[in-house]
Structure 1
């Protein structure tokens, strides 16, 4: 029998609060001004300053005042400057219609040719040079350009997975339920309990052997959900040089993720 007090409990239950975000400009000790995302999170228990390839972020509990948050950032400005320097990547391409640029794809750089057209689209040139052709209308905005890059990279990633996957499926207990591409902050891939696989879109920029290793890694989680010795034996049986690919990501991973965010991260 339902409790007669249940409707009363719902009436007086605290209203859940949502996460609030705002972007501020912070001056570093060297005089530079950088954006800082300040996040008020109901789940936070303490203030936390973090930096990754997306930039600087300050997490603030609801009970903390904004004045206290400002003091916290001021006290940690030197640390913040050092971390931002560590995550700065030189040579990240900028896409501006008509401006010569090279885009990374499968571990190599490709020249981009700009041409006028009705729709914004990125594709391979048909002349065998390896160049890419960026078609765009005269008024193509930044959002349309970024969307075209993302659509192109997703298509290339699906083509790679479609080419590699049949090689591994016969020895697996089941196929992935679906495969999607996302912009991930730290991971390269994940496998959900229902068998859905997510892959970082920046893998399309990496050398193909490294991309294929991540695919193998996630496929092997269909056999072992953990990272036990048995799991790594399955990985090694399918990708004997997986350690070299892991070292590649340690060396190039930050650049790959920063490049992807520069090209299409705001879409």
Structure 2
């Protein structure tokens, strides 16, 4: 006698995957850029975005290629404007003897190349006439150069923060637990609940007063975790010119982030 019912194994359905395809697209001024088309099963509408990593078109699963192309063409002018904001003009190639300057602290600092036993970068010269001295070993390739540049930028960032931090500790409930430096996509800094502060490595390319403002901003989150009126009062007390620095990042921030990514191959 067969049972009145039997349990059926659940039917497994194939999981829709995100599909990515890099294509070439021509802007209104004739420039050709690489565009990443992403067909995302979770997307509900067409979306065009640009950041320091490039241009991206997100396409919902049931949208045809024809409709997606029409959408892209309708926004060609906007796309051209956004790409221009992220374009790094005259960025020097990180190549011995070829690169004559590197960005640092809102300026172009001359670079002097020389052979060395190991690859490293140091700052020389006077305070009013800085010079970067890049020593390169005979076997150093592009990756070694980028690693030396990143080490230099991180050391410079730590030195700047170490110089500024003591003047702002008074009135804070505690000091940051530690400070980490990394290449960040959109933020300039963040503060974790455990007191760990993260700062964008690209801050070393900004003018020093702007870098210092970001440090103050994150320190004030030790007092207020939100962006309330009380929080901005803390910022105002420590950095009266914070609005000018915020405007600076609005104007230059994307270019600085794109420059750092290009230099480090991030």
**TM bucket by the smaller chain?**
0.7 to 0.9
Matched, 1:92 2:77: no
TM-score, reference length from structure 2: 0.83
* 1:237/1:16 CA distance change after superposition, 3 Å: farther
Go from structure 1 to structure 2 and tell me whether the alpha carbon gap of 1:14 and 1:34 turns closer, same or farther (over 3 Å shift): same
1:46 is aligned to 45
Match of 2:130, SS state, is coil
TM-score under structure 1 length normalisation: 0.83
Structure 1 pair 236/139, CA: closer, same or farther in 2 (3 Å)? Answer: same
Q: 1:123 matched to which residue of 2? A: 122
- The answer to whether 1:245 aligns with 2:239 is no
CA distance in 2 between counterparts of 1:198 and 1:10 reads 48
| CA distance in 2: counterparts of 1:196 and 1:12, whole angstroms | 46
The size of the alignment, in residue pairs, is 259
Provide Cα deviations, 1:197-221, integer angstroms capped at 9, x if missing partner: 2111111112222111110111101
Residue 261 of structure 1 corresponds to: 261
Match of 1:28 in 2: 27
Contact 2:236–2:242 (Cα < 8 Å) also in 1 = yes
Do the aligned partners of residues 30 and 209 (structure 1) sit closer, same or farther apart at CA in structure 2, a change above 3 Å counting?
closer
Q: Distance in 2 between matches of 1:108 and 1:10?
A: 66
Superposition CA RMSD, Å: 2.8
Q: 1:86 to 1:209 in 2, by over 3 A?
A: closer
How far does residue 256 in structure 1 lie from its aligned partner after superposition? 2.0
Counterparts of 1:86 and 1:234 in 2: how far apart (Å)?
Answer: 32
* Aligned equivalents of 1:67, 1:213: Cα separation in 2: 47
**Native 8 Å contact 1:122 1:132 kept in 2:** yes
Larger radius of gyration: 2
The residue matched to 2:255 in structure 1 has which SS?
Answer: helix
Which residue matches 1:143? 143
Distance in 1 of aligned mates of 2:133 and 2:209? 25
